[in-house]
Chain A
Amino acid sequence: MSASTHHSVLKHHFDNLEQQHAAERLGMWMFLATEVLFFGGLFGGYTVYRMWYSEAFAVASSHLNQTIATINTLLLITSSLTMTLAIRSARFGDKGGLYRNLLLTAGLGTAFMVMKGFEYAEDFHEHYVPGVLFQRAHDSAAEAVAGLSRLEAEDFFKKNPQHPEWARELVLANHGKSLGDPGYVNADHVQLFLCFYYIMTGIHGIHIIVGIGCILWLVLETYRGMIPPANYSTVEVVSLYWHLVDAIWLFLMPLLYLAGAGLVH
């Protein structure tokens, strides 16, 4: 295909396609830098509190759903693969392959969000959310075994599974202890962990949704014929964003979900 047939993809303020692509790529890299700093603030805050309240954070983290997190990690890594394959398809003019890989990527991203949805639903159902819900669940569990011995309390919880596991663990761990005793897990700090958990995974989820939107836009652009091989860099630019969102997850996941990995339940 000659350059003249691609004249429609060249934007009027650029001199040539090469300049346009170079500008788009550089722009995306710069945008990624801002995203790193955006999440960096969150990671920074999380790091500070994790250093100070390591025990409470470990306990809090151990009650998250590591299984879903692992599945999600595999989904995202695979989606990065399919995204890269999409670039390849675009470069070689393989329209069928391009559609396939783009839709696969979007599909995997959607699957990620669906799993996330299940995970959040589970957490909400268990009241593992900072604020009033957490407070109430914790208090009702504590009150239910008030005055019982440790063994009696354990027994009671076995017979009354309506109390969420995390609340049971927290109450049992703090049995007979009060603020300042070694091994006491401060519920406030658990809530602080949850704040960061929801904000970090929530904002990450928003980025995934935006990414899915961009990928679907790419599908539309492919349909309109705006992604001939000479313009494959549009796919590349979106893939850069997608890879960053994936990379952020790869840092997020161990920090949030594996902080309590050494703990035995």
Chain B
Amino acid sequence: MSTLTERAPLASPPPPEPIPAEPNYLNNSFSIWSWLLTVDHKRIGILYLVSITVFFVVGGIAAGLVRLSLVVNDSSIVTEDTYNRLFTAHGVVMLFFFLIPAVPAVFGNFLIPMMIGAKDLAFPKLNLASWYVFMIGAIMAVWAVLAGGIDTGWTLYPPYSSRSSTSNVIPGVMGAFISGFSSIMTGLNIMVTIHKMRAPGMTWGRLPLFVWAMYATSLIQLLATPVVAITLFLLMVERAWGVGIFDPALGGDPLLFQHLFWFYSHPAVYIMIVPGMGVISEVLPCFARKNIFGYRAIAWSSMGIAVVGFLLWAHHMFVAGISFYSALLFSLLSMLVAVPSAIKVFNWTATLYRGSITFQAPMLFSLGFVVLFTIGGLTGLFLATTGTDIHLHDTYFVVAHFHFVMVGGMVLGYFAALHFWWPKMTGRLYSDWWSRIAATIIIVGFFFTFIPQFVMGYHGHPRRYPNYPAEFQIYHVMSTAGASILGIGYLIPAIYLTLSLFNGQKAGANPWAATGLEWSTPSPPSVHNFDTTPVVVCGPYEYAIGVDQMGRGLPEGPGEGGPLGIASHEGHPSPPGPMIKETEVVG
């Protein structure tokens, strides 16, 4: 182990607790119009937060009913038709109206200007418009799934969706089509903001990794979403006017739909996961009190996933009728994208080495993310390998794989973000004890829900089957039991987070003693974020030295008892030891 001495910036003493912002962005006006016509990125983030929570509940209820009906191996609890509409509702609502906007539209909107020292996003009115577009699309699609439902699966393959299905396909597809534009607007806004509105000293090399992750995500949102927009449009035209764009009876090709659809939908899964990875990169260093290991590697990995992710789409189509050589090509490329994800996991693990770790809820959720995402990613390899995919395609193995990455990964990442930035956004602390319990229950419940599904899939149990062979029933019962635990786990934060808004201890500016610029503002922040433009002198995550990005000292990190309240922050001594720290480079 060699030792490299790097001149760390001289730390000024920790700043005094900022005066609470009066008014802050929440209480500067209580009128409904001040919310519905706001151009403040923070309020728009909250609008998104409320909306996607509602959709999460809708999608979750659909999931609950699906799992409930699967405890018996026939259609005695719900009919086949109802089951088909339920799993479609679950997929459509969760993917388009929860996962895609979750971290980008809530936390990206709220935090990116603050993390880079800006007063707002580049185009505040566009931001508000994006929420309205999102809501119009979401309400249309959710209405379609609730009032009668759609029975095509979220994947909408024609000719079933364009000819055969008699359900609310067009309103549902129209809803998804419209809300896609919201995704494009948000992505565009975030990218321009990061390019043009960084505070002095905030070079690309000093950006928090959350910002890098959001940049990569926005790139995907910008470039992939238009393709699905035109695909959905063509599908609606085909269904409405009976023309044969994808219908072989009239000269069309159903595989064209699949190619166009997956060209978006594969990068879309990276839209969903990369922001979560960004959150983990923020939380782990803070709760280990150490620099992130491999900042550049993680930043490049995010960009690598975004770019390479565009080249893999047909790995969803290995048995769809594509040529042998196409399948080989897409399989090879899919192996490439697994590498940056693996790199991130290794770097996160290495961050913990010789750290000083506490296990508050954000950390528990983040560790859960790393564990569950690893399983999700590793099982993806089975699907990227052509030889194994033949058997595993369209079985519960796939279902388990994507739930591991999307729920075990992304939902946990979302909860980590929620718990980490809740004090900043609301100015309140929540119950440390209950949050740790909730995190544990969610992780355990999740595990029991989806591990049996890997077994079932390996044994060939197909997806989307309300009637299934009896030998699988015991696994379905196990899975539903796990889902019940998971459901309870989700309810608990709903309760204590809501209670914290009324009874929670008031949070200081920096309850986690974190280094980002957003923590230098009062909690909740003022309308314009910063009174004076911050000047950045060093990179993020200087926990070992104990300075924030403006070079000011950090208080000592959150102890075993939870986040720092206001009182514990005041008068805290500067971090011990010399300000100039030797940097050890491993290996």
The answer to A–B direct touch (Cβ < 8 A) is: yes
| Cα–Cα distance between A133 and B76 once the two chains are bound (Å) | 47
Q: Please give me the residue from chain A that is nearest to B41 by CB atom.
A: A13
User: What bracket does the count of chain B residues touching chain A fall in?
Assistant: 35 or more
User: What bracket does the count of chain A residues touching chain B fall in?
Assistant: 20 to 34
B502 within 8 A of A: no
With A37-B226, A37-B227, A195-B245 known as contacts, the answer to whether A22 contacts B120 (CB < 8 A) is no
Q: Which residues in A have their C-beta under 8 angstroms from that of B245? A: 45, 192, 195
With A23-B197, A192-B251 known as contacts, the answer to whether A34 contacts B188 (CB < 8 A) is yes
Q: Please give me the residue from chain A that is nearest to B39 by CB atom.
A: A13
Q: In the complex, which residues 29-61 of chain A have their Cβ closer than 8 Å to any Cβ of chain B? A: 30-31, 33-35, 37-42, 44-45, 48-49, 53
A130 within 8 A of B: yes
Q: In the complex, which residues 121-154 of chain A have their Cβ closer than 8 Å to any Cβ of chain B? A: 130-131
Interface string of B186-198 (1 = CB under 8 A from A): 0011011101110
Q: Please give me the residue from chain B that is nearest to A202 by CB atom.
A: B237
Q: Which residues in B have their C-beta under 8 angstroms from that of A42? A: 230, 234
| Cα–Cα distance between A121 and B121 once the two chains are bound (Å) | 45
- B241 near A130: Cβ-Cβ < 8 Å: yes
B19 within 8 A of A: no
Q: How far is the CB of A167 from chain B (nearest CB, A)?
A: 18
Q: Which residues in A have their C-beta under 8 angstroms from that of B189? A: 27
Q: Which residues in A have their C-beta under 8 angstroms from that of B224? A: 37
Q: Which residues in B have their C-beta under 8 angstroms from that of A30? A: 188, 191-192, 222
- A34 near B250: Cβ-Cβ < 8 Å: no
Q: In the complex, which residues 169-204 of chain A have their Cβ closer than 8 Å to any Cβ of chain B? A: 186, 188-189, 191-192, 195, 199
B139 within 8 A of A: no
The 8 Å CB contact of B122, one of A23, A41, A45, A186, is A23
A19 within 8 A of B: yes
The 8 Å CB contact of A26, one of B118, B124, B196, is B196
Provide the main secondary structure of the chain B interface.
helix
Q: Which residues in A have their C-beta under 8 angstroms from that of B229? A: 38
A12 within 8 A of B: yes
- B226 near A53: Cβ-Cβ < 8 Å: no
- A130 near B192: Cβ-Cβ < 8 Å: no
| Cα–Cα distance between A171 and B306 once the two chains are bound (Å) | 51
Q: Which residues in B have their C-beta under 8 angstroms from that of A35? A: 226
- B196 near A40: Cβ-Cβ < 8 Å: no
Q: Which residues in B have their C-beta under 8 angstroms from that of A131? A: 241-243
- A34 near B252: Cβ-Cβ < 8 Å: no
Q: Which residues in B have their C-beta under 8 angstroms from that of A45? A: 234, 245, 256, 260
Q: In the complex, which residues 232-284 of chain B have their Cβ closer than 8 Å to any Cβ of chain A? A: 233-234, 237, 241-245, 250-253, 256, 260, 263
Q: How far is the CB of B403 from chain A (nearest CB, A)?
A: 29
With A27-B192, A45-B256, A130-B243 known as contacts, the answer to whether A191 contacts B250 (CB < 8 A) is yes
Q: How far is the CB of A217 from chain B (nearest CB, A)?
A: 14
B223 within 8 A of A: yes
B144 within 8 A of A: no
B315 within 8 A of A: no
With A13-B118, A30-B192 known as contacts, the answer to whether A44 contacts B225 (CB < 8 A) is no
Q: Please give me the residue from chain A that is nearest to B533 by CB atom.
A: A15
With A45-B245, A191-B244, A199-B237 known as contacts, the answer to whether A38 contacts B230 (CB < 8 A) is yes
| Cα–Cα distance between A224 and B120 once the two chains are bound (Å) | 26
Q: How far is the CB of A193 from chain B (nearest CB, A)?
A: 10
B119 within 8 A of A: yes
Q: Which residues in B have their C-beta under 8 angstroms from that of A189? A: 251
| Cα–Cα distance between A257 and B226 once the two chains are bound (Å) | 25
B468 within 8 A of A: no
Q: In the complex, which residues 82-136 of chain A have their Cβ closer than 8 Å to any Cβ of chain B? A: 130-131
Q: How far is the CB of B571 from chain A (nearest CB, A)?
A: 35
| Cα–Cα distance between A143 and B436 once the two chains are bound (Å) | 78
Q: Which residues in B have their C-beta under 8 angstroms from that of A15? A: 533
| Cα–Cα distance between A27 and B188 once the two chains are bound (Å) | 7
- B120 near A13: Cβ-Cβ < 8 Å: yes
Q: Which residues in B have their C-beta under 8 angstroms from that of A186? A: 251
B184 within 8 A of A: yes
| Cα–Cα distance between A49 and B231 once the two chains are bound (Å) | 15
Q: How far is the CB of A130 from chain B (nearest CB, A)?
A: 5
B123 within 8 A of A: yes
Q: Which residues in A have their C-beta under 8 angstroms from that of B260? A: 41, 44-45
| Cα–Cα distance between A29 and B488 once the two chains are bound (Å) | 47
Q: Which residues in B have their C-beta under 8 angstroms from that of A26? A: 191-192, 195-196
| Cα–Cα distance between A112 and B458 once the two chains are bound (Å) | 59
Interface string of B89-120 (1 = CB under 8 A from A): 00000000000000000000000000000111
Q: Which residues in A have their C-beta under 8 angstroms from that of B122? A: 13, 23, 27
Q: Which residues in B have their C-beta under 8 angstroms from that of A188? A: 244, 250-251
Q: Which residues in A have their C-beta under 8 angstroms from that of B263? A: 41
| Cα–Cα distance between A87 and B251 once the two chains are bound (Å) | 47
| Cα–Cα distance between A45 and B260 once the two chains are bound (Å) | 9
- A195 near B237: Cβ-Cβ < 8 Å: yes
Q: Please give me the residue from chain A that is nearest to B119 by CB atom.
A: A13
Q: Which residues in A have their C-beta under 8 angstroms from that of B230? A: 38-39, 41-42
With A35-B226, A38-B226 known as contacts, the answer to whether A192 contacts B252 (CB < 8 A) is yes
Q: Please give me the residue from chain B that is nearest to A190 by CB atom.
A: B251
| Cα–Cα distance between A16 and B583 once the two chains are bound (Å) | 39
Q: Please give me the residue from chain A that is nearest to B221 by CB atom.
A: A34
Q: How far is the CB of A118 from chain B (nearest CB, A)?
A: 23
Q: How far is the CB of B262 from chain A (nearest CB, A)?
A: 12
| Cα–Cα distance between A31 and B188 once the two chains are bound (Å) | 7
| Cα–Cα distance between A14 and B123 once the two chains are bound (Å) | 10
Q: Please give me the residue from chain B that is nearest to A194 by CB atom.
A: B243
Q: Which residues in A have their C-beta under 8 angstroms from that of B242? A: 131
- Max count, chain B CB within 10 A of own CB: residue among A13, A30, A49, A195: A13
| Cα–Cα distance between A21 and B188 once the two chains are bound (Å) | 15
| Cα–Cα distance between A130 and B256 once the two chains are bound (Å) | 20
| Cα–Cα distance between A233 and B123 once the two chains are bound (Å) | 16
- Max count, chain B CB within 10 A of own CB: residue among A15, A37, A130, A192: A37
Q: In the complex, which residues 372-400 of chain B have their Cβ closer than 8 Å to any Cβ of chain A? A: none
Q: Please give me the residue from chain B that is nearest to A11 by CB atom.
A: B124
- B225 near A34: Cβ-Cβ < 8 Å: yes
| Cα–Cα distance between A31 and B184 once the two chains are bound (Å) | 8
| Cα–Cα distance between A195 and B256 once the two chains are bound (Å) | 15
Q: Which residues in A have their C-beta under 8 angstroms from that of B119? A: 12-13
Having A31-B188, A41-B263, A195-B237, one finds 5 other A-B pairs with CB under 8 Å, namely A13-B120, A13-B122, A30-B191, A41-B234, A49-B253
A-binding residues in B (CB < 8 A) = 118-124, 184, 188-189, 191-193, 195-197, 222-227, 229-231, 233-234, 237, 241-245, 250-253, 256, 260, 263, 533
Can you pick out 13 interface pairs between chain A and chain B where the beta carbons lie within 8 Å of each other? A13-B120, A13-B122, A26-B195, A27-B189, A33-B222, A34-B188, A34-B223, A38-B227, A38-B229, A45-B260, A130-B241, A188-B250, A192-B244
The 10 closest A-B pairs by CB, nearest first: A38-B226, A41-B230, A13-B120, A37-B226, A23-B196, A188-B251, A13-B119, A23-B122, A27-B192, A34-B226
